[in-house]
A and B are shown apart, each in its own frame.
Chain A
Amino acid sequence: MAEQVGRRPFVREVPKTRWFLRHPRYRRYMAREVTCIFIAVYTVILIVGIARLGQGPGAYEAFLQALRTPLSIAFHVVALAFSLYHTVTWFNLAPKAMPVRFGETALPHAAVAGAHYFAWVILTVVVLWLAGAF
């Protein structure tokens, strides 16, 4: 019989808080995840705006004034950049999650992603139209 060899596997711990620093693709992933913070804050601002609108013209005007401050504008620019990053990375991943098949043929990935961008443009135009931009 072969000599018994002792097994003593060595476990390399994954750092719980710094794991994403190990590789650029993890950092890109975390960047996509972090976008949610900006989108959440933006949503809260929007809800506060609706509450102020319900409180009357004075409260709403003060809310609009607060939006015009440099800090607010800076935040909105950053939030826009982050939500664009989120949207683009997400739309590009969509064909993986939603392959579209007609019978035996599958739609090319570019078509599935393209449909998302198309719907995005249409919805943006509709929102701008509702807001009286045209």
Chain B
Amino acid sequence: MSERRVELQVLRYDPEKDEIPHFQSYTVPFSDEWVVLDALNHVKEQTDPTLSYRWSCHMAVCGSCGMMINGEPMLACKAFMRDLPEVIRVEPLAHFPIERDLVTVVEDFMAKLARVKPYLIPKQRKDLDAGEYLQTPGELKRYKQYAQCINCMLCYAACPEYGLTPKFIGPAAITLAHRYNEDSRDGGRELRQEEIAAGEGVWECTFVGACSQVCPKHVDPAAALQQVKIASTLDWFREHTMPWLSK
């Protein structure tokens, strides 16, 4: 079998030398089981050790290697070379500032993630010796899909709203808030609503749906955000038409 080769066009940016990013081409061989991350590793090991990018697990679990591959936000470890054309254009995730080469600045997302309190806030605190917070399989099913998020930020790169309005809390963070709101053991919804039921929160979303199309873990953030919108609207009506219900 003859060896196949592709042209990898990688967006390079060295903050110490470059005014603006530029593309650099590398020709790489590949075999059937190679993903784009293998090609990048090949370049770094064989041709150009200065190439910078993030990766860790190589199995779509850690969420580090998200990048734009031919204009599409993808995990480099899940993008098979055999499915791509002979010229592959690799850029850092859209909508995030470029730190260096394919490495982006992700502080904005990390801060937003912290704001939505993506952890269990128990309804009633129990002593350790009182045992676990129990849950039925049905109760688990309500949020399990949203718990699959690996914080890879592909949804932020796909979301035009986030690109145009960077203050938008965005798909993954709101989805994770929804994941905990839907958890039968949780009692922190009111605290999270302060952040997500706001203008910068879910109401910035116009349901483009791109987040769900690019999500490598089938989390369907667009669904979570629409459900948050409906629940927040019902809250509003309850508050304004039946004020005696809220203390």
Contact = CB atoms under 8 A, between A and B. Distances in A.
A130 interface: no
Given A9-B99, A96-B223, A98-B227, 16 more contacts: A7-B15, A8-B16, A10-B21, A11-B98, A14-B95, A19-B160, A19-B164, A23-B71, A23-B72, A29-B208, A93-B207, A97-B223, A97-B230, A104-B141, A105-B138, A106-B141
Q: Which 7 A-B pairs have the closest CB atoms?
A: A104-B138, A97-B226, A9-B97, A96-B223, A8-B15, A14-B163, A10-B98
B180 interface: no
Nearest to B72: A23
Contacts of B58: none
B98 A9 contact: yes
B94 A12 contact: yes
Interface residues of A, number: 28
Contact of B136 (A11, A23, A25, A104): A104
B20 interface: yes
B222 interface: yes
Interface string A47-89: 0000000000000000000000000000000000000000000
Interface string A1-35: 00001111111101010011011011001000100
Contacts of A23: 71-72, 210
B220 interface: yes
B137 interface: yes
A97 B229 contact: yes
Contacts of A132: none
23 contacts: A5-B16, A9-B15, A9-B97, A10-B20, A12-B94, A12-B97, A14-B95, A14-B164, A16-B164, A20-B160, A23-B71, A25-B208, A25-B210, A26-B208, A29-B209, A96-B220, A97-B223, A97-B229, A99-B223, A104-B136, A104-B138, A104-B141, A105-B138
A96 B206 CA distance: 14
Nearest to A96: B223
A10 B15 contact: yes
A75 B227 CA distance: 35
Q: Which of A5, A10, A29 has the most CB of B within 10 A?
A: A10
Nearest to B138: A104
Contact of B105 (A9, A26, A33, A97): A9
A6 B17 CA distance: 11
Q: Which of B18, B163, B222, B229 has the most CB of A within 10 A?
A: B163
B232 interface: no
Given A22-B71, A25-B213, A96-B222, A103 B138 contact: yes
A27 to B, nearest CB: 11
Contacts of A9: 15, 97-99, 105
B156 interface: no
A12 B226 CA distance: 29
B168 interface: no
Nearest to B213: A25
A101 B207 CA distance: 22
A11 B227 contact: no
Nearest to A19: B160
Contacts of B223: 96-97, 99
Contacts of A103: 138
Given A6-B16, A10-B97, A29-B208, A97 B227 contact: yes
